[in-house]
Every structure is written in C-alpha cells, then in structure tokens.
Copies of this chain bind each other. A is one copy, B any other.
Amino acid sequence: MSTLPTVARDVGRILQVVSLMLVVSIVVAGVNAEFYAMPAFAISAVIMGGVGTVLARWFRDAPSPGKVEAMITAASAWGVLAFLGSLPFLLIAWAIYINPYPVWMNTPAVDSTTDVFRDPLNGIFESISGYTSTGLTMASVEDDLPRSLHWWRSFTEWVGGVGVIVLTVAILARPGSGSLTLFESEAREKKSKVMPSVVSTVKEIWKIYLGLTIAAITLLLIVGMPLWPAINHAMTGIATGGFSVHGASIGEYGAIIQYAVVPIMVAGSIAFPIHYLILKGEIENFYKDLQTRWIFIWFTVGSLALTALLLTGGDASGQFTTLEEHFRAGLFQFVSATSNTGFGTAAIGGGTERAMSAGATFLICLGMLTGAAAGSTVGGLKLIRVATLLKGTLWQIRGVFAPDSAVRQLKLGERTLDEQQAEREYTEATVVFVLWIVFLIIGVAVMLWALSPEYPVEYVIFDVMSAQSNVGLDAGITGPDMPDVTKWMLILNMWVGRLEIIPVAVLIGAVLKRFDLYT
C-alpha cells in the first residue's frame, strides 16, 4: 500500500508534537508539588517522542499526503494516541502503588479511584475518552485523583478538541463550502497538496481556542469557582470534553455556576469559522449561519421539552423539587448532551436504579445524536448533516413530481446546491447515518450481551450513544467495574464517532483495497 509510508511519517510527526504535551505536564506536576508524578510524564514523553521520531525519520522521504492519506492518518493518530496517552495513568498508578520514591516527592497513599489505572485497559479507556473529547471515565471519585491526572485528563480533551477542529476545518475542508464535510471527489485528488493556507487557518483556530478558554476561566472565576477547577472546567468545557475534577461534575456547585457553564458549552458548539467571523464583527452570523441558528433553536426547544418531561413524571427518582430546579436540570443536561460536552448536574440513570424516565433519557439521546455544529469540537451527526438528511429526504420525495426537464435545487442555509451537488451531499450524509446506526446497533448488542440484564435498556443505549457521540454523560453503567469487552466496545464507539466514521471507514477501505476486495 503506497499510502503506508506517508501515514506512518505523519503519525510520527503528530506524536512528536503531542509528546510536548507530556513535557508541559512534567512542569504542571512540579508546580503542584506532585514530584512523584514527574518521572511518569518524563518516561511517557520519551516513549511518545521516541516512537514519533523513529517513524518520522524512517519514512521522511514518503510522498506528501492527499485527502485519503489525511483521513487514514487522522484515524490512525487517534488510535495510537489512545495507547501512548494512557502511559501517565498507568505509570502514576503504579508509582503510588509501589512507592519507590523518597518522601520529599510526596507520593500519596494508595487510593481506590487512582488505583484502577494499574490496569492498562482503564488507562487506555481514559486516554481515548480524553483525546476524543468524550469524557466517559474510569475514575469513580475524580476529586481523589492527583492534580497531575486532573491536568492530564483535561489537557488531552483540550488538545483533542482543537485537533478535531483543525482536522475538519483546515485539512478535510471543502473550499468555498460552509459545511466542512468531506467528499469523495476531493478525496480522489490524491495528489492535491494540503493547501498552504492551512498554516494560517490553524493559527487562527488556535488563537480563538486559546482566547475562548481564557474567557471561560475568567467567567468561572467571576462566578466563584476556585482557580484549579476553573482552569480544568474551562479547558474541558470549550473542548466540549466534559471531564470534571469532581465526582459530582458541575453538580458540585450552586445554581449560579451551573448557569455560567451553559454559555461555555454553547461557545464550544459553534463552528470555529463562525467564531472567527463573529469576532471580526460579523454578528449577523449568529442567525444567518444555518448551524448556529439551529444551535439556539434546538437547544431552546430541547431544554424546554426536557423540562416539561421532568415535570410530568420524567424525574422518576424525585431529584428536583422547585420549578427552577426542574428547568435548570433540563437546560443543563440538554445543552450538555447536545453540545456533546457531558458535564452533569443531575443523575440520568443510576445503573440498575431509575433516575430519569425512558422518555427523558431518549430525548437526551436525540440531542446527543444530532450534536451541534460541524467545525466545532462537538461529536454526533452534526446539525448540517441532520439538515441535509431531513431536507434532502423531502427533496428526494418532491423529485417524484418534478418533470425531467426541471432544474432542481436544494437550499441548505445560505447555500443553494444544484441537483448533482445535492445528490452528492445527501449521499455523504446517508452513508454516515447508515454506518452510525450500524455501529450503534453493534455497540448496544455487545453491551446487552455482556452486561447484567438488570440494567434498563434505555440506559444501555444511552451509554453507547454517549460514547459514539463523544458526549461523556452516563446513566450509571460506565465505570471501572464493567466487563472488559464492554470497555473495548465503548473505546471503538468513541474512536469511530470522533472521526465521523468515514475516516475509519476509509481506513477499513484501505485494508479492503490491499486485499483487492474492491470492484
């Protein structure tokens, strides 16, 4: 396969860059006086940087990547990072367990939350959950984790989040299209170089991302969150990642902080090209851009609908009393789900115990499925694809009535597609949708097979949907005690979901091609 050297070289380069994250984390561990954690990050940095350097050197003469190689590189990089990014979890857990260091290095006592990461699988789960900005966790009580691991979890989500924006906006972008979807006709131009404008685009993305993160930290400090959680929650909020430093997530705090987190999640849901335009003063994009308009409409409608469900029997375990509590829970959980952030302020399910009703659970599932804007850090199908699916289906039906000679167009937001474009984008959306459903069915089947039948089915579907949409809310099923096969299944769902399935499918396609299985 001629693409292999290119992919290996580029994955190597990514590892080289990402290994700098581990170097930064050595410093963070030191600043927090967790000196026992510094060797773990150092060793991890050497391994990740070393593997990256070997790959980058070995294949340095590989040809430049086209779109196909870019997709395969993305799919591979997220997979490799999941494994190498698990090293700090593994090494810190073992360092605490063995305690080989002098007293001044501050090794803490063994704690049950951190100790689960002595099992490499738990660290791999946590690492891919971080890099995919999912936020499902193997940590039972996040408060008990070392700050170094708080940081590492938040940092993986933050970098993973910006990584997805760069991938979708800069690398797989279709020139001149706001939809940022990828399509085969571009992908076929294997020899087209990644545009030189990519560098400046990436710079702009980083600037906005950093600015939003600082703004989020400031906001959280103003409403009274202490510095350490403010830094972490701002990073994981803008990344729509959802890792928290508390077992109770944002439920740890009062109403004002909970409301303050909502706009941070919304900011993470908006496409970065739109952020760019709005920051340049083109405020009208709030309502003119199809996806941004629908974020506000859908978040509002969904939050009110969830509140109504919670008021009419949806709050099966009686968590809420006042109207304001119902509304706040409905708003926060729906925005958290649909922005694919995964912060929580209330229980959706209690594992085998009931918390919310099946109806409320499925409404949140619907939010997770749609997600928000392509071109942001969110997961799920993305609103542009949902619009293409629904409007495109109606357009196909109306086509039955159109005379052959008719010039047919499909209007999607500001764009007007001719018949050929419309067919192409509709097909792209349906391919993703079909594969999405297939992986969802596989995930639910494996979970039902491996889990106790005591878990209500809606909660099982919820956790799989949460993984595949990179949300991170859970209904009380996901945790260190679940069977290994279900951890691997959710790892697959997170990986497939993060890459919007097609790059993974292209990776599979590359394998098929290798074996000459394509016609």
Contacts and interface: CB of A to CB of B under 8 A. Distances in A.
Contacts of A396: 184, 427, 431
Interface string A449-462: 10001001110100
A512 B403 CA distance: 16
The interface residues of chain A, by DSSP majority, are classed as: helix
Nearest to A313: B453
Interface string A362-399: 10001000000000000000000000011001111111
Contacts of A435: 393
Interface in A432-485: 433-435, 437, 441, 444-445, 448-449, 453, 456-458, 460
Contacts of A445: 359, 362
Contacts of A508: 397
A401 B362 contact: no
A401 B514 CA distance: 11
Contacts of A184: 396, 399-400
A445 B502 CA distance: 30
Interface residues of A, number: 60
Contacts of A505: 397
A188 interface: yes
A456 B453 CA distance: 12
A510 B400 CA distance: 10
A513 interface: yes
Interface string A313-346: 1001000000000000000000000000000000
- Interface centre among A184, A187, A313, A316, by most chain B C-beta atoms within 10 angstroms, is A184
A401 B185 CA distance: 10
Interface stretch (A6-14, A133-141, A282-290, A404-412): A404-412
The 8 closest A-B pairs by CB, nearest first: A430-B430, A359-B448, A398-B518, A358-B457, A457-B458, A397-B505, A187-B400, A397-B509
Given A188-B402, A366-B441, 17 more contacts: A68-B400, A357-B453, A358-B448, A359-B449, A362-B444, A362-B448, A362-B457, A389-B434, A393-B435, A396-B427, A397-B505, A397-B508, A408-B519, A409-B519, A430-B430, A430-B433, A433-B434
Interface of A: 68, 71, 184-185, 187-188, 313, 316, 357-359, 362, 366, 389-390, 393-404, 408-411, 423, 426-427, 430-431, 433-435, 437, 441, 444-445, 448-449, 453, 456-458, 460, 502, 505-506, 508-510, 512-513, 518-519
